[in-house]
Amino acid sequence: MKKSLFAMAAMGAFAGAAQAQSSVTVYGLLDVGYINATATARGPGNGINTAASNSVLTPNGASANFSALSGNAQSTSRLGFRGTEDLGGGLAAFFTVEIGLQPNNAQNIDTGVGQNRQTFIGVRKQGMGELSLGTQYTTIHFAAAKTDPGELNNMMGNVIYDKAAGLSATASGSAMNNGTLLGFGGQQNNTSYTVRSTNMLRVQTTQASGFQGTAFYVVNSNTQGNQDLTNNASRAGSTAGPSNNYGWGAGLDFSYQKAFLTANVQQFVNKQALTMDTSAGTVTAGGPAYGYYGAGGASSGTNVRDTQSYFAGTYDFGILKAYVQYVNRKAENLQNNTLSAQRSATQIGIRSSITSNIQTWLSGGVGSVRGMTNPMENANLLVQQNTSTANFNGWQIGANYLLSKRTNLYAIYGQQSTSNMTIGYSTANAAVTTNNPTSYKASNMAVGVRHTF
């Protein structure tokens, strides 16, 4: 009898130990509040509006206003599952599955681009680092999360993590007509750098002597048969050759007492297969298309090389924390390297805890967009922006009132604007050319409540 009781107790202890070696955590965030935004575009008012160009420029003085009981102003609502399993010998397996939520949408689970926020699996070795595969944040986004005074909120005024379309004349003009300029509440992707990518292998080291390194590689290639394209007429509409999306990134962080520095670079390349012109029966390469505004996926367009860099530093003075940030992004046409778009911005800020319950932050920055920033192509017309520069600026102020460790009230105000930018439109036969400088100014504010669980 004593032996049986001893065996049962030993089995129970073993089962309890085995259960303790693995765990799954459900977590999430809900952000709901009131949001208001206004925007005004300024230009000479002689914009063109043709079906072929797919572009509508805004007349002088056009404005728009938006207000709603909405959400995601401070943080994007989400639901996630996180788990770990102890494999012994300092080795552990882990996973994360995270989806976006829309508190004010009839379909609560976000079915848009942000639905799959993260889904990855990996292994971790104590004292060495970790390796993970799946849909993950990029190196720059991890670094920006550590060094942004506004903690990467979704409001206007942050020139590093800008969440509103319209930094070029073309974008600001068209946005005033279709309302996309005001879709800032977690609906716009960041335009300064790629936030996350699918098909990613990510490696991170443990911290040693203040240094910690991160690197990733992205690959998604599809070879489509190498058909014989010599007989063009009979092969109209067919494709051949590789369609290749790939990317890489690397970053290095350094911490020393109250100072923190980070340097990061990443690049995404999209190469599309050759295609047949169904109307002429000729072989053409895939037309270049910049996803420069709203590039949130594995690449920033079609047949484009997108290179991004981010440098930042913080210093904690005790009463407040100071921030300095710099970001640069250049998208190059793979078929014609003389055509490119480049955006750069610099921002400084501070964040302070006035009391144990009140946090405040303030940031301001400037930058510019240069080159061909938003070309569009259809069967007959290539819309191009001539080499030119648009300067922009933005600033943001915000505060949190902590009701508990998990719940806070917030108030955020942001403002941004751009200078005039000359745009040129040209058809394949140079039949149309015109200029239309356009600038805009926009601001928004939000008050709401955020709860993490």
What digits encode the pLDDT tens for the residues 152-178?
A: 998 989 999 986 543 333 333 333 333
Q: What is the mean pLDDT of residues 308-315?
A: 97
CATH of 25-69+127-452, one of 2.40.160, 1.20.1550, 2.60.40, 1.10.287: 2.40.160
Please give the Cα distance from 270 to 268 (Å, whole number). Answer: 7
Selection from 420, 421, 414 nearest residue 161 by Cα: 414
Q: Does residue 136 or residue 50 have the better pLDDT?
A: 136
Please give the Cα distance from 380 to 261 (Å, whole number). Answer: 49
Please give the Cα distance from 449 to 32 (Å, whole number). Answer: 6
Residue 421, C-beta contacts closer than 8 angstroms, at least 6 positions apart: 168, 169, 369, 385, 388, 389, 390, 437, 438, 439
Selection from 127, 47, 5 nearest residue 383 by Cα: 47
Confidence class for position 243, pLDDT limits 50, 70, 90: low
Selection from 317, 395, 313 nearest residue 362 by Cα: 395
Q: Decide if pLDDT at 90 tops 60.
A: yes
What digits encode the pLDDT tens for the residues 327-379?
A: 998 877 776 666 676 788 999 999 999 999 999 999 999 988 776 534 433 33
Tokens of 452: 């993490």
Confidence class for position 420, pLDDT limits 50, 70, 90: low
Tell me the whole-structure pTM to 2 decimals: 0.78
Selection from 276, 205, 202 nearest residue 241 by Cα: 276
